[in-house]
Structure 1
């Protein structure tokens, strides 16, 4: 609901409440004033009637009526006396001429003295009467009858009915007019805010932070709001430009550093491999110091050099892996788009499973049921899909000292899932939302394994590039299961397994 409509509804509701209160006061005042003269006439007539209640007071007719003098504007008064004992009704002569009985309350309702409005309906007429009733009781408090003094009030009721109609319809008309005028006034008052909204929407859709909201002509609250928003946009544009330049510089640094470091690292590793082959040949030709042939180094120095060479090689491999990871993430940040084609998923999984057998590990490597991959094709990049599977497999090898690691597959609704399940150390479920963050180590506090914490970040990027998702199920001390879901491009095989419910699904 818009502010304009809310303001109009509040204004109209307040006006309607005021009109109802004023109309009610006016109606009550007019009602009191209309019946005041008739009520006064009935009270005067009541004061002239003397009745001595007895058990048979109607039979004995022991009461006196003195007619008050009536002017030309006074109403005709009708008198009726009711005996509850015998159910007899006595009426004054004028009421007998009407051939009707004024309605009266039964004795069990314990009628009270006072004014009462009644309606008299017959086959020939229907009219209203205002009555004043006085209960007739014996000295012991027993109710034996009722005195009713009445006047016709048709004119008063018609007048009050017309007044009610006028008040209701005039109030509705005034509220309707006020609502319409209020909408127009609110629209005119809030028109500058609509200009602000349109300008901000253009900025949001076009990402043009250099746009400004047209300044308001007045210096009211709207004008100050426009000025404040324009100042805020200026500061946001300045901060955004600085952040964008800084971000571009960071991406260039990571990308350039990765490219620059790859070449010397490759050279180092090549030279180390060459030295390793040379020293191996020297050792084969000089099995011991007693051969008499010249040996460049004695055996002790040779062993030390070999250990140093091994350390250099390991560190070079680790740095090379880190640089490749940084390069992959730099490409992801730079919006690198993979070249994709339709690929059969089963050969990729089988090739990865075969090559994974050669990786260093302490746990058993199992190849589970991959039949769900038969005939399934996805649209993706062959090299990156292989890298994706190797990341999860190597991660499982790293955190599983005993037990087994198993590669499997299953099909869902329009998706194919590849599972990597291990029986390793597992994770706390609270850590799952963070495991794909860069440099995050779920076991950092425990120091169980070594690593950079970039592998799963790269895996998440590859999954996103393939419009897939990853599901994680884990429990501390019992292992972890990763399920990589990829959309099926086309399949020659019906789905074999439908997954109902997951523990954690990361899109």
Structure 2
């Protein structure tokens, strides 16, 4: 059962009960009022008649003319204690009575009774007649209830018809108004069905009514749809990034695996004939060397390739493990770290890295006495990533490191004179497996270094600034908050062409 139908039934039922209570109350009031007025009128008439009766010798009496009392609708009849019955002139026959009420009147008590006569009822009043201080008989004063009963019948009919019409009208109007009032809910259902069938999260519920409960509900659902859309978009982006990550990781792992398998096949082809030759030379006094010098050199070269590719795979797996920890919400252990000795150690060790460019240690005076709150190992890894990246893309020229100071932040700048980047590539360089150079694989590496570097910077509450120009070089500046300052500044990335 719909809310609309339930609401209509509820207020229709309440209205019906209200009309029932009102109708019963109104009918009861009029019935009591009219019957009571008749009783009072009969009593007054009986008393008037009792005062106007004329007696003869204290025993005989006669009724006055009823026209004197303007009571044409009232009938009177007296019964003397001797049993004589006298009636008013407007009666053609005697009024009926019951012995019970006659006896009550003879005992001095008045009473009322409703007596059916033909097709109508009579309201009968029994009144003891007193003449000269003594009881001389009983006076019956009666009036027909036809008019009263007809009025009450008409009243019942009118109340029933009015109630029926009012309930029907109220139910129809309520059904229409509830439909209009609940139309926003219908819109909510329609929008939800549309979203369910078409996955269209851009659809919103239109509502132009007042800011009532339904208005607030509509706003809440629209807000919820916006959040769901944002979450769905984020999940979709994350799913695409995950698929790209798996695809790129598979590609990166396939290359060293292919190299390893090729070299293993080569060694197998070389060593199997040699092993067979050594086994067949058991009868000779002296076996020839199974492997010639050229074959040995070829084997050593293949083993070197295997070791190199295995090391490359190990680096890739370690980088992927670091990013997996970052995605899982890994929080590194931090402490106060003196920055200058750490950078000097990185500068010293960096000169032994494979490179073709000159390595220059610039002015590190801005780091004097500076401490940052962070992790020493991860900060060293961050600097090595930037330096190795600079060496990788600088075939000739120089790679330089120096320090900067700006307020309560300290910057470490790594610059090179390498191939640089286009401005359109800069926003993507921190994405996993992204390569700025057009031909993938042109430069060795996993494509994960800068992603790890960005995660380390974020963990330290810092930011990174990128300046680059095609064929002129690239500069990275890592900004870190000085220890004692806010450890959660605005984390972000700045870059310039």
- TM-score over 0.5 for the pair: no
Give the TM-score taking structure 1 as reference length: 0.42
Give the TM-score taking structure 2 as reference length: 0.43
